[in-house]
Structure 1
Amino acid sequence: MELSNIREHLKSQDVYIVEVPLRSKNGKYRQKQIRCMYLNQQTGTLLLMLSDVEDIVKEEKEKQEQLEKALKMAEAANEAKTKFLAGMSHEIRTPMNAIIGLNSMIRSSLDDREQVLDYTEKLDSASQYLLALLNDILDMSRIESGSMKLAIRAFEGDKFWDNVNMLAKAQAVMAGVGYSFERRKKISEVYIGDSTRLEQIMVNLINNAVKFTPKGGNVNVSVAEQETDGRVQLTAVVSDNGIGIAKDFLPKVFEIFTQEHEENTRVYGGSGLGLSIARNYARMMDGDITVESAEGKGTVFTVTAKLDFDRRKKARKERTENISFEGKRILLVEDHPLNVIVAKGLLEKKQFEVVTAENGKKAVELVTDAPEYYFDAILMDIRMPVLDGIEAARQIRALDRADVKELPIIAMTANAGDEDRRQTKEAGMNEHLAKPIDPKLLYTTLQKFILP
């Protein structure tokens, strides 16, 4: 660093700063900063200030590296989401096209009952697939926002595993894959936990195993139970001898929006959300999901979860086949004409007399004008014009008459989040059913409140 060079720079600036590595007394080089300025410009006297900036430079370098790493991660996440949205578009359009096409085919085949039944089965399958896909997206959103809660209730272990096996065997048979199940050391008849989420975990893992196992391969499920600190430690192992997972992809297998190969999305389908959702559910149950795999040899997923249990009693059996609500009158509050047709059909199938209201204001008027105990229950949509279901329920509960204090009001809405459930409960509603309505759940809920 020559003085002439410094003077040249000071012609255009008051302070000239330069950083250079200089050898310290211990022989090691450290980054130094030299600030140059005129002490007296008339005499040409220079002032040079030397400071050690090694630590500052290192810190800035580390920050820069962290920023670059974060930027790369953000870019990778955006790229993954872009690919995911493109895949979602295809995944959603496929069943939608099937639904639209089958609907048209049904209308043109009304004289052929067998053909219509075949089409309606396919229509149901496409609808269920689309619903499952949308549920995955909503569940992932709730998990990421921290609003997902488990629905804790008693359930029968034998019945639970029978149902999982029924679904698994059906998938395996259709795929031409062998299937075996083993359950060791049953702790209790009745467990207390979120059976729906637990079933979702198991079905997701088993379906994945079947999906990625070639015809003639095998999928094996083994379940063990152990009592620990007054709870049941459940360990389920799902293994297959399918295509396996590459070693470098294993750390990413539970990440959202990811699939090992893009062609897997096209060949096998799926959103890339299932495993991430399943693992989050397992962790909410004080457990986890781990994976071991070798490409070309197969994969082993191990699920752990903790459940409470009750040795004394069996879970209440709910039968809906022979339920009859003959002589019972229900007020159906729903603004969408198609939803009215569907819900009314389900209710009349069980001999309900159905009265309809297109909004909350009309519902309040009907209850107000009717004699006491005229209605046995109310099914209430939430989002409606004129007056929503929350306010309508509050106004009905506030009426000065005896019957409305105990009249069952059941929310029947697409708003299925925990905050929505809290709001309906605060408004005085007794239950909250998510759309699309599960007929069996609808009947058992009404049975609980109406039939002795």
Structure 2
Amino acid sequence: MSSAETRRQTRNLIIAALVAVAVLIGSLFLFTNANTDRIVAQNSQYLESSSGQTARRVDDVFTTSLRTVQTAASIYESTLTNGTVDPEEAVNVLDLSQFDHTFFITPDGIAYNRDGRTAEAFDRYYYTAGIAGESGMCFIDNAIFDGQNVVAFFAPVHYEDQVAGVMVSVYREDTLTELMTTQFYGDSTPTYLCLPDGTIISQAPATEDEPTNIDEVFSSHELDGITLSDLDSDIASGNTASFTYRTPEGVGNTYMMKLPSYDWVLVRSFPASITNGMISKANISGTIVIAGVLIAAAVVVGVLMAQARRKNIELLLERQEATRIIDASTNLFNSLVSVDLVHGTYEYLKNEDNQELLPSRGTYDQLCTYLKNVSASDAEDNQLVLLDTEAVKAALAPGTPFIQQDWKVNHGGEVRWHQVSTLSLARNAAGEPTDVLVTVQDVTDAKEQEIASRQALEDAFQAAEHASQAKSDFLNSMSHDIRTPMNSIMGLTAIAGMHVNDPERVRECLGNITSASKHLLGLINEVLDMAKIESGTIGLSEEPFDLPESIENLITIMNPQIAAKGQILDVQLVDIKHEHVIGDPTRLQQVFVNIMGNSIKFTPEGGTIGLRITELQSRIPGSGCYEFVFSDTGCGMSPEFLKTVFDPFTRANDSRTTKVEGTGLGMAIVKSVVTLMSGSIDVASVEGEGTTFTVVVHLKLRDGEREDLSDLEGIRVLVVDDDPVACEGACILLDDIGMRSAYELSGQAGIDAVVTADTSQDPFRAVILDWRMPEMSGLEAAKRIREVTGENVPIIILSAYDWSMIEQEAREVGVDAFISKPLFRSRLVQVMKELLTGEVKTIIDEKAMLEGLTYEGRRVLLTEDNMMAAAIAEELIGMTGAEVEHAENGKLALDMLLERDPGYYDIVLMDIQMPVMNGYEAATAIRAEAGGRPDLGDIPIVALSADAFAEDIRHAHASGMNDHMSKPLEIETLVRMLQKWMK
């Protein structure tokens, strides 16, 4: 080689080396930039996830803490017997293990600490808000007892309609610091909890010179794409934002977001020092990788040069490698056989399973005979193509290189699956295969998994079909359930129409219509709440109600069905001491209607439906324990079905029940509701004899009105009923209210007892007769007693049935009053006072209640998009004398408030579901205007909505509303709400 050629090659090598170096430097530069961008983006994602977790943790702690203080205030309220509050006792109600500090503020503004210290709290927000009846949370930068920065949670303590004090618990700043502290790669990351104006409530980790405003944190940094004004605006608006900033140490990330339930904002930074360290480590790793690539390239070049020198050796190695690959591939198959279709012969190239059963070479007929003998396939369409020469030629037509079949065989007494592949090795001029290679592979495990997967898919499909059918059945069942109270409403409406001249009867029918309507509304709520019932997340309301009213409503709803089937209703009370309770009457009645409805449906005509109510001894202070036993003489349930009776969409497959409508969802709902009430439900059943459900629930007790029973003391009363248990129960009630009782078990015995007592110095002053008695009915006994006693002795008919059909006849024979079974104490006292002392229970005049408010000159802003609902509300509110102005959506209501002078409106009634702007959004927008219009922060806003569940009420309060009324609108609720907020 000449020197010129050598210089040329050297020059080319130098140029190639320089180009390679330039490419490497450029690649390294691009790599470091891309690496920096990737790490910054990655840290931003880490920061967003971490900030969200911390924000939710802080939000959950705040919400739980506020509920704890509210619960403590409620518990203490329940212990108050008069308006006097003991601050030392009150402050000890709440356990300090959750909070750093707890104190109680009396109405005069004096705060009492747990250690006996006192301080003035006149100027504190939690005092002014708490005395106003509000509960909530606030930030205090100078606590009254230790001067520290604290977050305070407060709730008012009420006695009757007055605030008796405020309970306050606090977290110090170091507690919040611990709550927010988070580490990235071993280093704590700066985290700040800020008010909407940027004031820093708490900082983690704590530093010696802690900033007071978030602007101080970033004022010395170079912000990317955002200014301090933008930062302040985002914090004030509660916007979620992410940005980067630059420091001498590098690029840092910041993420901020509002707490889910509060206006406070969490700001968290990913320090530039950590980011810079991660970038440096990544760049070092990249440099090492590039160096490794260079080394690898050098090695490759050396290898290529060595390969060039040993070309023949490499070719030999490749042939050996190919041979090993072929051998390895062959090992995948149990058998390999070559078949000559032209000459009708075969040769096994590999035969692991059948070396002794079949020769390695032979005729095609021998091979087919063997394959047929070991085949376990029983269907013609599952036979091997290989067994027929013409079938092989048709399957391997030109363009088809191979075919595969799954084949079931008997292998050593065990059935296994083989995959048989037939490949064409040679073809004739017509394209027909002449030589084929057959491979056999054991695929038993894979085939069993495939069959199991297919079965799982079929099972899933069947489950989906069942769920779809169950939903359709559920709609059919709800149609039936909704018709039940509708039938009651229609029937009671007809009865009221037939007694238009009898105000008492019409008023009674209207009351029963209201009860049935409430039950119908409860069913509708059940349908709307079905998703929550299925997921176990339904909520319970707490409202005062009376057990007698609930049971009477239940009997009113179920009586038409019982009467239609000619069944007997047996209702008993055992030792009921407390009739006035607090709970969720709609859910409780939902349980009762479902259970009793099933009893009626599955009990034949003439059967007995039983309900026994017992007040058990309660272990929970302030609560009563009630046992409700529902029994029937129906078809009963099998032991197998009893195990699944509470599962959704489950019904007994029995010829006695197949014609009875229902989806089997009722008992699942009953179980969910009873469990939610911390109660229990048990069932016992015998096929052909009947079923008994036992429900035990705890209900909070409330004080009833104290009654003056002195006028009834010592009055002698006779009870006549063929049921000894009913007689004894009635006598116990009579004796308990101070009357003297006696009972007889037949109509004739009762007549004789009245005659005997009438001739003595101690006659009966009242007689209670069961309507349905053998031999002599209650009406016949009443007629004969009236003939003996004249008009002096009041006669009362006692019945578990609708007495409307006999009322006129009963009045004609001298019956003075009717009482429904079961006989509750309150109802018995009311009837006895009306008949013996002339004291009549006050009837609520709803029209007089409205007209008595006298709100002339006051203005109500009604926000309602439904014109009919708005017209009804305007009519009712107008009866108070107030002027009503109507807005069709939340946006119009906001505009009207802003257009009018402060104080123009006295109250806002706000619907929830509206177009343009719903009620929640409108309330939030109204409260947001309080900065420029302080009156909009104070004006009462009351929700008026069909969204009536507990979470809807909480949502209304969270959006800034003061109170909540549910639709349909009830007069008493409307009056109470207007009196509360328009004093």
The TM-score with structure 1 as length reference comes to 0.72
Q: Distance in 1 between matches of 2:650 and 2:971?
A: 32
Measure how far apart 1:409 and its partner are. 0.8
User: How far apart are 1:65 and its partner, in Å?
Assistant: 2.5
**What is residue 74 of structure 1 aligned with on the other side?**
464
Unpaired segments of 5 or more residues in structure 1?
Answer: none
What residue in structure 2 maps to residue 5 of structure 1?
A: 388
The alignment partner of 1:17 has SS state of: strand
By how many angstroms is 1:143 displaced?
2.4
Q: Is 2:421 the counterpart of 1:31?
A: no
SS of residue in 1 equivalent to 2:908:
strand
Q: Which of 896, 908, 931 is the aligned partner of 1:378?
A: 908
SS at match of 2:529: helix
1:15 to 385, 398, 402: 402
Distance 2:598 2:387 in 1: 73
Q: CA deviation at 1:183?
A: 6.2
Q: Which residue of 2 aligns with 1:367?
A: 897
* 1:264 pairs with 2:669: no
SS of 2:854 mapped into structure 1:
coil
1:353 aligns with 2:738: no
Specify the SS of the correspondent of 1:66.
Answer: helix
CA distance in 2, matches of 1:274, 1:447: 40
Q: Does 1:52 align with 2:582?
A: no
Could you tell me whether the CA contact under 8 Å between 1:172 and 1:179 is conserved in 2? no
Structure 2: which amino acid aligns with 1:255? P
CA distance in 1, matches of 2:894, 2:498: 41
Mean Cα displacement is larger for which, 58-67 or 287-296? 287-296
Letter in 2 for 1:19: D
Matched with 2:629 is: 238
C-alpha distance in structure 2 between counterparts of 1:306 and 1:178, whole Å? 24
Q: 1:232 to 1:316 in 2, by over 3 A?
A: closer
Deviation at 1:436, TM superposition (A): 1.7
Task: Report the secondary structure of 2:524's partner residue.
Answer: helix
Which whole-Å CA distance do the structure 1 matches of 2:464 and 2:633 have between them? 33
Residue 202 of structure 1: CA displacement?
3.9
2:45 is matched with which residue?
none
SS at match of 2:865: coil
Letter in 2 for 1:337: M
Q: Offset at 1:80?
A: 3.7
Distance across 2 between alignment mates of 1:160 and 1:96: 23
1:299: Cα distance to partner? Answer: 1.6
Residue identity in the other structure for 2:534: E
Decide whether aligned partners of structure 1 residues 71 and 423 sit closer, same or farther in structure 2, where only a CA change above 3 A counts: same
Per the alignment, do residues 364 and 422 of structure 1 end up closer, same or farther by CA in structure 2, a change over 3 Å counting?
A: same
For residues 285-344 of structure 1, the C-alpha deviation after alignment (integer angstroms, 9 at most, x for no partner) is 45554433234422222335678x7xxx95799x99679643365332223232123323
CA positional deviation for 1:380:
0.8
CA gap of 1:211–1:428, structure 2 versus 1, over 3 A, is same
Alpha-carbon spacing, 1:215–1:380, altered in 2? closer, same or farther (3 Å): farther
1:385 and 1:172 map into 2 onto residues whose CA distance is 40
Match of 1:330 among 846, 860, 864: 860
Seen in structure 2, the aligned counterparts of structure 1 residues 91 and 291 have a Cα distance that, compared at 3 Å, is closer
Q: Residues 298 and 100 from structure 1, CA distance in 2 versus in 1: closer, same or farther, beyond 3 angstroms?
A: closer
- Of the candidates 686, 699, 702, which is equivalent to residue 294 of structure 1? 686
1:143 is aligned to 2:512: no
Task: Name 1:178's counterpart in structure 2.
Answer: 570
Alignment partners' CA distance in 1, 2:910 and 2:612? 45
Matched to 1:405, the amino acid is G
Aligned counterparts, 1:97-116, within 5 A: none
- Mapped to 1, the partners of 2:446 and 2:624 lie a distance apart of 51
Pick which of 119-128 and 436-445 moved more: 119-128
Q: Is the 8 A contact 2:396 2:424 kept in 1?
A: no
Query: How far does residue 408 in structure 1 lie from its aligned partner after superposition?
Result: 1.9
**Take 2:907 and 2:859, find their aligned partners in 1: how far apart are those partners?**
7
**3-state SS of 2:539 partner:** coil
User: Residue type of the partner of 1:31?
Assistant: W
Distance 1:32 1:224, change over 3 A: farther
* SS of 2:388 mapped into structure 1: helix
The letter for the 2-side match of 1:379 is L
Asked if the contact 2:512–2:553 (Cα under 8 Å) also holds between the matched residues in 1, the reply is: no
CA shift, 1:19, in A, is 3.0
Name the CA shift for 1:114/1:370 in 2 (closer, same or farther; >3 Å): farther
* More divergent stretch after superposition (46-55 vs 83-92): 83-92
1:279 maps to which residue? 671
Counterpart contact for 2:953–2:964, Cα < 8 Å:
yes
Q: Report how far residue 102 of structure 1 moved.
A: 10
- CA–CA distance in structure 1, aligned partners of residues 491 and 695 of structure 2: 40
**1:183/1:273 CA distance change after superposition, 3 Å:** farther
Give the CA deviation at 1:37. Answer: 2.0
Give 1:41 deviation, angstroms: 5.8
Distance 1:263 1:40 in 2: 70
Q: Comparing both chains, which one has the higher relative contact order based on Cα–Cα distances under 8 Å and sequence gaps of 6 or more?
A: 1
Deviation at 1:179, TM superposition (A): 0.5
1:85-124 equivalences under 5 Å are: 85-86=475-476, 88=478, 117=506
Give me the whole-angstrom Cα distance separating, in 2, the residues matched to 1:166 and 1:4.
Answer: 82
Size of the aligned set, in residue pairs, is 431
Change beyond 3 A, Cα 1:50–1:245 = same
CA contact (8 A) 2:632 2:690 kept: yes
Distance 1:57 1:425 in 2: 60
Unaligned runs of 5+ in 2: 1-366, 369-385, 563-567, 706-841
- Greater radius of gyration (CA): 2
Change (3 A) 1:410 1:258: farther
Q: Distance in 1 between matches of 2:425 and 2:492?
A: 89
Q: Is the 8 A contact 1:372 1:401 kept in 2?
A: yes
Q: Is 1:139–1:148's contact at 8 Å kept on the other side of the alignment?
A: yes
Give the secondary-structure state (helix, strand or coil) at the position aligned to 2:860: strand
Kindly indicate whether the alpha-carbon contact (under 8 Å) linking 2:860 and 2:906 is maintained by their aligned counterparts in 1: yes
Matched-pair contact (CA < 8 Å) for 2:859–2:885: no
Which 10-residue stretch deviates more, 374-383 or 359-368? Answer: 359-368
The one-letter code of the counterpart of 2:854 is E
Distance 1:111 1:183 in 2: 37
- Tell me the equivalent position of 1:255: 648
Structure 1 residues 353 and 223, CA, compared in 2 at 3 Å: closer, same or farther? same
Q: 1:177, CA displacement in angstroms?
A: 0.7
SS at match of 2:943: strand
The Cα RMSD (Å) is 4.9
Write the letter of the residue equivalent to 1:142: K
Judged with a 3 Å threshold, the aligned counterparts in structure 2 of structure 1 residues 178 and 89 are, in CA distance, closer, same or farther, namely closer
Change (3 A) 1:113 1:356: farther
Q: Whole-Å Cα distance in 2 between the matches of residues 305 and 56 of structure 1?
A: 54
* Larger displacement relative to structure 2 (53-62 or 217-226): 217-226
Q: 1:21 to 1:257 in 2, by over 3 A?
A: closer
Cα shift at 1:4: 5.5
Aligned to 2:960: 428
What amino acid maps onto 1:144 in structure 2?
A: E
User: Residue deviations 1:145-164, cap 9 Å, x none?
Assistant: 6663334x4x67xx654444
Distance in 2 (CA, whole Å) between partners of 1:435 and 1:16 is 71
Deviation for aligned residue 1:279: 2.0
Code of the residue aligned with 1:14 in structure 2: it is P
- Checking the alignment, whether the CA contact within 8 Å between 2:396 and 2:403 is kept in structure 1 is no
CA shift at 1:405, angstroms?
A: 1.9
Q: Is the 8 A contact 1:410 1:433 kept in 2?
A: yes
State how far apart, in whole Å, the 1-side matches of 2:434 and 2:624 are: 83
Structure 1, residues 396-450: CA drift from partner, whole Å, max 9, x if none?
Answer: 3214333332222111122345675555334311233332234444444444445
**SS at structure 1 position matched to 2:674:** helix
SS across alignment from 1:264: coil
